[in-house]
């Protein structure tokens, strides 16, 4: 159904979503995917309705309980995940083209996201095959062991900034654990999730184990979270939404994984390799057009090198090439949506009204070729303190604030004085300092002399308002399972009251 080459991809899309193994027209409102480079509609289709939610959850539960899935041995379920991973890799170009049209991202990035999703399926397949349960130390007459079992139906709710990778990060371990998954992709970038649904089907995943329900977060997302038969929610998105989901989950006494927002510090010490630091700071904030939860948006630079480093950073930022995601020379592509671009612009304008100085950027490009797209120039602000709104709130766009610091102690206090605790970058040539600061910073991930490097084999979590729970890594599968303990009597002795 998804013909290649790229130009004919969208003519072959149909008005269908995946509900419990059936491709059918959604019963909900029209969802429009627009190319943010041009504002043109890429594909319009009907999203899910509450009836679709009901069908997806009930169908998912039935599929998860079906012996054909439930009784598969780990290596057999792993084979399915490998097939999905292989198909994703085979279709990486197609996935990349669809995702670039849907999100505006560069082809280089969307291809990398596709390959990362393939790797996630393979890693989780391997983790599943090698996962071990424990016979726990015996403390009485029983053999004791711990086992892990699937929840049944998992709801996976994802944001628009790196769709196929965040979909895979939830679907692969949840399926590996033996669950069915109902995926609620974001309103602004739903297409690649539907494509993933097609590929899972083509790989032979039994019907009902994956539903894909695009639609409104507050209606469809909320209905999924609140549904009594959904046993776990794995959410990636904004902190406000995460709090709402957490409240519903608390009422249900249901586990949730929340991967939320950030306002990450990236720190340049004077003893750093400053060329390397410059490239890292630039990439850390402006890659993905700054639409990254882990973007290094607060750049702390030591006073000894501040003037020189900031001058070079501004110059390098000015040289970044802003353009279409389909242009191989583009560094900074459009933002995901015109509305989002306007929100980013409004935050910069507010910062300026509160006293910030624009060192570079600060507006949309004036190039006529880009005037229809949701572009915003990479922007660096200075002249504010860490208390300013622009240093508190997540912009989720290509906007960095530079902040001078003088001592390590003051730096750590400032870096931690923020609601979020997602990531941090440290640039220094002193390994003792690197270790000391890394341990002192409240963040789930700290990069030392590098930034934005990810591996599916390394756990990922947010501290403070950046999240709850952990994804990735070998233990990632277990976060989609509930634990059970077994006691087997080995003695044959009657229980204490057995003689009465």
Active-site positions read: 170, 259, 293, 471
Residue 316 near residue 284, CB atoms below 8 Å: no
Establish if 56 lies at the interface with ligand NAD (CB under 6 A).
no
Establish if 245 lies at the interface with ligand NAD (CB under 6 A).
yes
Nearest approach in angstroms of CB 63 to ligand NAD is 23
Rounded-to-integer distance, Cα 460 and Cα 472, Å:
6
Establish if 104 lies at the interface with ligand NAD (CB under 6 A).
no
Nearest approach in angstroms of CB 475 to ligand NAD is 17
Establish if 113 lies at the interface with ligand NAD (CB under 6 A).
no
Nearest approach in angstroms of CB 242 to ligand NAD is 7
Establish if 325 lies at the interface with ligand NAD (CB under 6 A).
no
Nearest approach in angstroms of CB 467 to ligand NAD is 6
**Count of chain residues binding ligand NAD (CB under 6 A):** 29
Q: Please, which residues bridge with residue 67 across strands?
A: none
Establish if 241 lies at the interface with ligand NAD (CB under 6 A).
yes
Rounded-to-integer distance, Cα 34 and Cα 48, Å:
18
Residue 35 or 259 with smaller CB distance to ligand NAD: 259
Nearest approach in angstroms of CB 252 to ligand NAD is 13
Phi first, then psi: what are they for 299, rounded to 5°? Answer: -100, 105
Query: Using CB under 6 A, which of 47, 467, 473, 476 touches ligand NAD?
Result: 467
Residue 150 or 261 with smaller CB distance to ligand NAD: 261
Establish if 236 lies at the interface with ligand NAD (CB under 6 A).
yes
Instruction: Please give the residues from 398 up to 457 whose contact with ligand NAD meets the rule CB under 6 A.
Output: 422
Establish if 214 lies at the interface with ligand NAD (CB under 6 A).
no
Query: Given the DSSP bridges, would you call strands 298-302 and 481-489 parallel, antiparallel or unpaired?
Result: unpaired
Nearest approach in angstroms of CB 54 to ligand NAD is 16
Establish if 280 lies at the interface with ligand NAD (CB under 6 A).
no
Establish if 334 lies at the interface with ligand NAD (CB under 6 A).
no
* Sign of the alpha-carbon dihedral angle for 348, 353, 357, 363: positive
Establish if 481 lies at the interface with ligand NAD (CB under 6 A).
no
Stretch that binds ligand NAD, among 57-65, 214-222, 384-392, 409-417 (CB under 6 A): 214-222
Establish if 469 lies at the interface with ligand NAD (CB under 6 A).
no
Nearest approach in angstroms of CB 155 to ligand NAD is 8
Establish if 184 lies at the interface with ligand NAD (CB under 6 A).
yes
Output the six-digit token pair for 17: 């979503």
Stretch that binds ligand NAD, among 18-26, 27-35, 213-221, 355-363 (CB under 6 A): 213-221
Nearest approach in angstroms of CB 455 to ligand NAD is 14
Q: SS in 3 state form for the chain?
A: CCCCCHHHCHHHCCCCEEECCEEECCCCCEEEEECCCCCCEEEEEECCCHHHHHHHHHHHHHHHHCHHHHCCCHHHHHHHHHHHHHHHHHCHHHHHHHHHHHHCCCHHHHHHHHHHHHHHHHHHHHHHHCCCCEEECCCCCEEEEEEEEECCEEEEECCCCCHHHHHHHHHHHHHHCCCEEEEECCCCCCHHHHHHHHHHHHCCCCCCCEEECCCCHHHHHHHHHHCCCEEEEEEECCHHHHHHHHHHHHHHCCCEEEECCCCCEEEECCCCCHHHHHHHHHHHHHHHHHCCCCCCCEEEEECCCHHHHHHHHHHHHHCCCECCCCCCCCCECCCCCHHHHHHHHHHHHHHHHCCCEEEECCCCCCCHHHCCCCCCCCEEEECCCCCCHHHHCCCCCCEEEEEEECCHHHHHHHHHCCCEECEEEEECCCHHHHHHHHHHCCCCEEEECCCCCCCCCCCEECEECCEECEECCHHHHHHHEEEEEEEEECCCCCCHHHHC
Residue 305 or 423 with smaller CB distance to ligand NAD: 423
Stretch that binds ligand NAD, among 4-12, 47-55, 232-240, 492-500 (CB under 6 A): 232-240
Residues whose CB falls within 8 Å of the CB of residue 358, separated by 6 or more in sequence, listed in order: 348, 352, 379, 380, 381
Query: Using CB under 6 A, which of 187, 284, 362, 421 touches ligand NAD?
Result: 187
Query: Using CB under 6 A, which of 78, 180, 181, 225 touches ligand NAD?
Result: 225
Residue 258 or 277 with smaller CB distance to ligand NAD: 258
Nearest approach in angstroms of CB 182 to ligand NAD is 12
Establish if 36 lies at the interface with ligand NAD (CB under 6 A).
no
Residue 249 or 310 with smaller CB distance to ligand NAD: 249
Stretch that binds ligand NAD, among 18-26, 151-159, 298-306, 399-407 (CB under 6 A): 151-159
Q: Among 325, 309, 68, which residue's Cα sits nearest to residue 178? A: 68
Query: Using CB under 6 A, which of 396, 405, 447, 480 touches ligand NAD?
Result: 396
Query: Using CB under 6 A, which of 36, 150, 159, 323 touches ligand NAD?
Result: 159
Rounded-to-integer distance, Cα 234 and Cα 184, Å:
10
Residue 220 near residue 54, CB atoms below 8 Å: no
Establish if 181 lies at the interface with ligand NAD (CB under 6 A).
no
Residue 200 or 335 with smaller CB distance to ligand NAD: 335
Q: Would you tell me which residues interact with ligand NAD (CB under 6 A)? A: 157-161, 184, 186-187, 217-218, 221-222, 225, 236-238, 241, 244-245, 259-262, 293, 394, 396, 422, 462, 467
């Amino acid at each position: 159904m998804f013909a290649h080459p790229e130009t004919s991809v969208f003519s072959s899309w149909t008005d269908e979503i995946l509900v419990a193994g059936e491709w059918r027209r959604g019963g909900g409102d029209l969802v429009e995917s627009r190319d943010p480079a041009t504002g043109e509609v890429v594909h319009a289709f009907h999203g899910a309705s509450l009836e679709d939610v009901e069908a997806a959850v009930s169908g998912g539960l039935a599929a998860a309980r079906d012996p054909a899935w439930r009784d598969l041995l780990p290596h057999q379920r792993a084979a399915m995940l490998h097939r999905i991973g292989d198909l994703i890799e085979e279709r990486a170009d197609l996935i990349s083209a669809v995702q670039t049209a849907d999100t505006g991202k560069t082809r280089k990035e969307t291809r990398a996201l596709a390959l990362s999703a393939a790797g996630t399926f393979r890693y989780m397949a391997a983790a599943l095959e090698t996962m071990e349960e424990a016979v726990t130390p015996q403390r009485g007459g029983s053999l004791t062991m711990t086992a892990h079992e699937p929840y049944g139906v998992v709801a996976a709710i994802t944001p628009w900034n790196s769709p196929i990778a965040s979909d895979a990060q939830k679907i692969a371990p949840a399926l590996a654990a033996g669950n069915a998954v109902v995926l609620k992709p974001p309103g602004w970038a739903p297409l690649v999730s539907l494509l993933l649904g097609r590929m899972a089907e083509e790989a032979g995943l039994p019907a009902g184990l994956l539903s894909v329900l695009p639609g409104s977060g507050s209606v469809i997302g909320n209905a999924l979270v609140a549904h009594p038969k959904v046993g776990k929610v794995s959410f990636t998105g904004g902190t406000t939404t995460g709090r709402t989901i957490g409240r519903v989950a608390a009422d249900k006494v249901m586990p949730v994984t929340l991967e939320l927002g950030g306002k990450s510090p990236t720190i340049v010490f004077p003893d750093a390799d400053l060329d390397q630091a410059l490239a890292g700071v630039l990439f850390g904030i402006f890659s993905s057009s700054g639409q990254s939860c882990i973007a290094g948006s607060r750049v702390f630079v030591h006073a000894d090198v501040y003037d020189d480093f900031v001058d070079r950073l501004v110059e390098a930022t000015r040289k970044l090439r802003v353009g279409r995601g389909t242009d191989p020379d583009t560094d900074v592509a459009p933002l995901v949506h015109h509305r989002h671009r306007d929100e980013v612009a409004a935050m910069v304008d507010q910062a300026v009204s509160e006293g910030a100085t624009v060192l570079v950027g600060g507006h949309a490009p004036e190039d006529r070729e880009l005037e229809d797209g949701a572009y915003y120039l990479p922007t660096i602000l200075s002249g504010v303190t860490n208390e300013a709104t622009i240093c508190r709130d997540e912009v989720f766009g290509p906007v960095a604030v530079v902040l001078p610091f003088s001592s390590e102690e003051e730096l750590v206090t400032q870096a931690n004085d923020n609601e979020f605790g997602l990531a941090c970058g440290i640039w220094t040539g002193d390994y003792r300092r690197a270790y000391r600061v890394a341990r002192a910073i409240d963040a789930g991930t700290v990069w030392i002399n590098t930034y934005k490097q990810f591996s599916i084999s390394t756990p990922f979590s947010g501290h403070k308002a950046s999240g709850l729970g952990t994804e990735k890594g070998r233990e990632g599968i277990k976060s989609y399972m509930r634990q059970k303990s077994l006691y087997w009597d080995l003695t044959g002795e009657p229980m204490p009251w057995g003689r009465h």
